[in-house]
Structure 1
Amino acid sequence: MEKSIFYLLFGLGKLPKAMVPILQSEGIILLDEGLKGSVTLRKFRAPGRYHNYKKSVFAGSIVITELRFAAFSFSRPIINVPMKDDRLNLLDLSVPKEGVLRAKFNAGAFHQGWKGSVECRFATPSARLFVERLKTNGA
């Protein structure tokens, strides 16, 4: 799986520097950086924002530690759920095609006052490993 051009040229799509020591101290199990990804919003509402349909592409990273599952668009967190949090079960995780990890969820489950569907896709050769590991933890 090719890394994002943003990652190859500018290093965009790495874990945020501030998060690296935190994630390392939690014990990184799986990590992939420089991934091509997309976020699709459907019937999305948040204070000051409304999108019937919006798709954005990015370079990002995903990580599973002993304590959390996190995904980043550039250096912004899109998903950051502790492994023991019941909301992990609200993530619809799948591999729609080989090499693509899909995480779909209702925005209201993670942010008060938000509504709609959020779908994140990450192009990673480790997609199946991520899903298997997360499903063993309850997602």
Structure 2
Amino acid sequence: MSKSLLYRLFGLRKVPARARERLENEGIVFDEEGTSCALYYKNFRCSHKYSGRGWESLAVGSLVITRRSFYIQFPYMILCDKPVEDVVKYLELELKGPDKLVMKFEVEKIFEPSTGSLTCYWRTDNASAIFNHICDLQANHAGC
């Protein structure tokens, strides 16, 4: 259910080989490469995307979480490849059912150079496991 048809047919949002090798060496915890998602933009600006307000409902994205890195790739070259402890403090999470994870990003801190608002609705069977893992990381970071 989690892999999009465009990913299965054309490899859309495939993690580049060099990045994939590095992520595998770090120990992948969750690998949601080529996953179906919906994006909601509000006054969003980055180097390749400008949007006043709108939805992109048939998007394909990649989310890979390792023991050290948080890798996200969305359409229009919106990319994040940062240490996981730096990213989790700038995420708001919500679980909408067993297979839908909502991530609201503080884009100025995560996707540089960007401004505005970006929310992603991931459709994945691992939604609750990813939610719990990130919540644990956020709790550990808050306790430090």
User: Shorter-chain TM-score category?
Assistant: 0.7 to 0.9
Confirm or deny that 1:102 pairs with 2:65: no
2:62 aligned partner: 61
Moved more, 18-27 or 107-116: 107-116
Q: State the Cα deviation string for residues 39-76 of structure 1 (Å, max 9, x = none).
A: 22112245796422132332222111010222222694
Quote the Cα distance in structure 1 between the aligned partners of 2:66 and 2:43.
32
Quote the Cα distance in structure 1 between the aligned partners of 2:23 and 2:47.
30
SS at match of 1:9: helix
CA 52–10 in structure 1, closer or farther in 2 if over 3 Å, else same: same
- How far apart are residue 88 of structure 1 and its match? 1.9
Assess if the C-alpha contact under 8 Å between 2:90 and 2:105 holds in 1: yes
Query: With structure 1 as the length reference, what TM-score do the two structures score?
Result: 0.81
1:80 aligned partner: 81
Quote the Cα distance in structure 1 between the aligned partners of 2:85 and 2:73.
20
Query: With structure 2 as the length reference, what TM-score do the two structures score?
Result: 0.79
Question: Aligned letter for 2:115?
Answer: K
How many pairs are equivalent?
A: 138
Question: Aligned letter for 2:82?
Answer: V
2:131 aligned partner: 131
SS at match of 1:40: strand
Question: Aligned letter for 2:110?
Answer: F
2:142 aligned partner: none
CA 114–69 in structure 1, closer or farther in 2 if over 3 Å, else same: closer
CA RMSD, 1 decimal: 2.6
CA 23–112 in structure 1, closer or farther in 2 if over 3 Å, else same: closer
Quote the Cα distance in structure 2 between the aligned partners of 1:63 and 1:121.
15
1:10 aligned partner: 10
Quote the Cα distance in structure 2 between the aligned partners of 1:47 and 1:24.
28
Quote the Cα distance in structure 2 between the aligned partners of 1:138 and 1:35.
23
Question: Aligned letter for 2:30?
Answer: L
Quote the Cα distance in structure 1 between the aligned partners of 2:113 and 2:2.
37
Assess if the C-alpha contact under 8 Å between 1:60 and 1:75 holds in 2: no
Question: Aligned letter for 1:5?
Answer: L
Quote the Cα distance in structure 2 between the aligned partners of 1:13 and 1:106.
22
- Identity among equivalent positions (%) equals 28
Assess if the C-alpha contact under 8 Å between 2:78 and 2:111 holds in 1: no
Assess if the C-alpha contact under 8 Å between 2:107 and 2:117 holds in 1: yes
